[in-house]
Amino acid sequence: MSVQERKERERAVRERLIVATARELAEQQGWDAVTTRRLAERIEYSQPVLYSHFRGKREIIGAVALEGATEMAAALRAATSAADGPRARVTALARAYLVFAERNPAVYDAMFQLDGGLAFADEVETPEPLKNAFAALLETLREVAGEGVHPGLFTEVFWAALHGLATLIRAGRLPTGDAERRAELLVARLAVV
């Protein structure tokens, strides 16, 4: 292994450590607790080393969001692949989405609530992990969009409903414990199966 390859590998390891530490700290104490100084202390590197990877907290949030989008896409696909039939797949998708939001609140915030400097809904600028997460929704929802309904638009509306549920539940505006019934109701009223 060349010196350059070793340095690149070490850099990638440090970057993963920064992202994992930011994510852990955010999950434990919230995003306000994530500062470059605190991250530098936790990973035992200087702040200049941290800044050699990320220009600041915004880029770290973006990195967590991209990681989360990859994980969410995998979770949605795993849930839908185990279901039989369109209705069961959409119900599994809705449940998996709500479970992901509940189990990963700081990641979910990085993805959808905080400014991570990422472009959404832009053919050129949107990063692949975000496109892939939307595709994971679209793959299942296109089959229940209904006659004459654009699958992408239907996916946006369904996603907005899921996001609204996840956000309201997390904020304590809706009682916890009814996620399954809400997912089933959403599917029954929106999906054409």
Residues 105-134 have a mean pLDDT of 95
Residues 139-158 have a mean pLDDT of 95
pLDDT in the model for residue 112: 96
Smallest CA-to-CA distance from 64 within 97, 112, 98 is with: 112
Smallest CA-to-CA distance from 115 within 62, 51, 71 is with: 62
Task: Indicate the pLDDT class of residue 47, thresholds 50, 70 and 90.
Answer: very high
Q: CA 116, CA 57: separation in Å to the nearest integer?
A: 8
Tens of pLDDT, residue by residue over 61-99, are 999 999 999 999 999 999 999 999 999 999 999 999 999
Q: Please tell me the total number of residues recorded for the chain in this structure.
A: 193
Does the predicted TM-score (pTM) go above 0.85? yes
Tens of pLDDT, residue by residue over 154-163, are 999 999 999 9
